[in-house]
Amino acid sequence: LKLVPKKPVPRPFLKRPLTWANVLLLAGLATFWLFFRPLPTVGGGEPDSAAATALKARVYAAVSRQDEVGFRRIDPANPGGWLLSFREAPQSLETYQSQSLIRPTPARRTIVLQPVGAMSAADALLLEKLRAYTEGFFGLPARVVPQIPLPAAQGDILRGNQFHAGRILSEVLQPRVAPDAMVTFGITNADLWSEELSFVFGVGDDKSVTGVMSLARLRPSFWHAKPAPDGEARVLRRACRLLSHEVGHVLGMWHCVFYKCVMNGSNSLLEADAQPLHLCPVCHRKLAWNTGADGSRRYSQLLGFYRAHRMNPEAEWMQARLERWKKIAARVQTR
């Protein structure tokens, strides 16, 4: 009789005892999923997915009812032109805080407005108004620096008479970033284009902390429209909206899909004109968290600007918001 040693039968995977290697592997996979899972998206003419609806509900739940007065949520059934065409990932405050962002430091906290290309005396006045608006909106110092020429019109930088927006950032603005500049933002009369779009009103790039906007399409003359008596006021409102939107992008804010807000995407001047100049409660909190801007101070400064420039609907809205905000801030302080 010969004894044959019995071969050990391997246990099925799921019944094996958990080894440290397995635990570490599972923990690693879970962490990877937590940080790198794709965010749900909304828009593009499709109904919101269950994940996107849940994310939006969490964001809305973090805004108190008192804080929400005066704001309008975006109706997913009727989201407007931009969201009908493009898909966007909702950016919550937590998502914003988890990104690598430019933030003001004692040495670098100025928003530099850089005129690019020919500017008239009237443009210089508009730039000064935009500088004051930038200070009020972002709660940071802003200055206008002397004008510099557009890049040489060679190669593919020009398409018809439009300049490539990204090349203005890389060839004109990035080499000239001042030592105290937190954001370097170009303003030009040239019309702009970008890769897949036939034109852009402006761009804001959080990686290079530069952006540029064009005044060309903000003027009725571009559209061969008759000069209106309120033409100048309309151009100022459009320029304020565009500048704060693009600099918002430079500070890492994505398009807002929660409320009617200055951070909404817009496909046309008509759509942009219908959008408010203010940040919604979610986007306001992103800015306040980033720069430490004080709400009451920010709202007071903007109210002063709107009054000085007879922007009556904005002034009225801001007056009411400031009063509500003081109550909200007082309640938070006494808690």
Residues serving a catalytic function are 246
* Comparison of 279 and 309: residue with beta carbon closer to Zn ion: 279
CB of 14 to Zn ion, least distance (A): 47
Q: DSSP 3-state assignment of 204? A: strand
* Comparison of 147 and 267: residue with beta carbon closer to Zn ion: 267
> CA 206: distance to chain centroid?
9
DSSP label of 173: I
| Per-residue b or e along 165-201, where b marks 16 or more CB atoms closer than 10 Å to that residue's CB | bbbbbeebbeeebeeebbbbbbbbbbbbbeeeeeebb
CB of 264 to Zn ion, least distance (A): 7
* Measured distance CA(12)–CA(89) in Å, rounded: 41
* Comparison of 169 and 263: residue with beta carbon closer to Zn ion: 263
Q: DSSP 3-state assignment of 191? A: strand
CB of 21 to Zn ion, least distance (A): 45
* Comparison of 127 and 263: residue with beta carbon closer to Zn ion: 263
* Measured distance CA(259)–CA(269) in Å, rounded: 19
CB of 54 to Zn ion, least distance (A): 19
Q: In the complex, which residues of this chain contact Zn ion (CB under 5 A)? A: 256, 261, 263, 280, 283
* Measured distance CA(68)–CA(311) in Å, rounded: 23
